[in-house]
Amino acid sequence: HPVKYHLEKKEKHTGARLGKIETPHGTFETPMFMPVGTLASVKTMAPEELEEMGAGIILSNTYHLWLRPGEDIVDEAGGLHEFMNWDRGILTDSGGFQVFSLSDMRDIKEEGVHFRSHLDGSKLFLSPEKAIQIQNKLGSDIMMSFDECPPFDESYDYVKKSVERTSRWAERGLNAHEKLNKQGLFGIVQGAGFEDLRKQSAKDLVSMDFSGYSIGGLSVGEPKKEMYRVLDFTTPLLPENKPRYLMGVGTPDALIEGVIRGVDMFDCVLPTRIARNGTTMTSKGRVVIKNAEYARDYRPLDEKCNCYTCRNYSRAYIRHLIKSDETFGLRLTSYHNLFFLLDLMKKVRQAIREDNLLEFKESFFEEYGYN
Ligand SMILES: CC#C[C@H]1NC(N)=Nc2cc3[nH]c(NC)nc3cc21
Ligand SMILES: [Zn+2]
């Protein structure tokens, strides 16, 4: 496997692990947060800034890049790394989730999914083989299997059929992948909130020997307690010597709770998405910078933050920019939010080294204002 996971240390009191994930574009520490660059750009950030804040692997989306600009243009440009001038890790999602969340879905057949483009309504077809072929043209370091993504509250019978199809699709994707090249391919465990279906899905995928395993079907609107319950019985089903990736997570509390349950990799649009309306995460909870209370507040967003934004600009200035629709304001809030989550993961890794992750969680939650 060109993507290898090295387990460095298990935290004494939880399921948390310290590790390293080796890719053709570098080796990065886990647990890690991956900034999302859906359309080959982490919104408003330059690659140098992402590197400066310590980002290792970023996420891009097969579905979006297939529709626009098309995988052939990215391929001709030399692949995604060349195209976006990013020489560290890139992970691409397979399109499975986007098909189900973005486009009004036509129908699911055994061979794949027929649906309409969310851009212009044109008819499209995506299959496990096609999703692998596109990702190989994008040249990502870590690729995702094409999965069927049922809503969390679907019936047991529907989810059972869906899990069985996702396993058949995973096998087809793996076969197609091995003919193309050997970058890392992850299987995506499904099964919604049903323990036996999660077991079945994990068993099927682990037998296919993927480079790593994503936990799908979560962070899709279910209560956080539900997500943690599913994680409690799903991560132990996955091999210790492979990375575990919880898709679409998340908020500071969910990141810490996921690490405690043995998750190694996370991605979420949250930091850059909320930044664009001026909402920032700080060690003392969220600061919604547009609030009038910050008009004359000349302190940084977070006194404890060492990021470019916090070292050079005040809340009053950032509030002024956001209120005035000055684009630079979005860059400052995006930079800070990404730095905040990347720095949180650095602190979590240190807590694993010191075997005091639960104490770290308590003090972080207390200061952030989680109940
Ligand atoms: C059902 C299912 C499923 C998973 N399948 C794939 N391919 N990508 C995902 C991306 C996600 N993002 C979020 N929350 C923002 N949950 C996700 C779940 C998946
Ligand atoms: Zn900051």
| pLDDT, average across residues 237-241 | 98
pLDDT band at 105 (very low <50, low <70, confident <90, very high): low
Q: What token pair was written down for 82?
A: 């060349």
Residues 27-38 pLDDT 10s: 999 999 999 999
Best CA proximity match to 281, nearest among 347, 348, 326, 344: 344
| pLDDT, average across residues 134-160 | 96
Alpha-carbon separation of residue 116 from 59, 113, 351 (angstroms):
24, 10, 46
Q: Which atom of ligand 1 is nearest to the CA of 269?
A: 15
Query: CB of 59 closer than 6 A to ligand 1?
Result: no
What is the rounded distance in angstroms from the CA atom of residue 287 to the CA atom of residue 340? 13
Name the 3-class secondary structure at 367. Answer: helix
The closest ligand to the CA of 283 turns out to be 2
- Local structure of residue 42 (DSSP, 8 states): -
| pLDDT, average across residues 48-54 | 98
Best CA proximity match to 16, nearest among 368, 367, 355: 355
Query: CB of 147 closer than 6 A to ligand 1?
Result: yes
Ligand 1: centre distance to CA 216 (Å): 5
Alpha-carbon separation of residue 257 from 15, 33, 59 (angstroms):
10, 13, 21
- ipTM for the complex shown: 0.99
Residues 286-304 pLDDT 10s: 999 999 999 999 999 999 9
Query: CB of 246 closer than 6 A to ligand 1?
Result: no
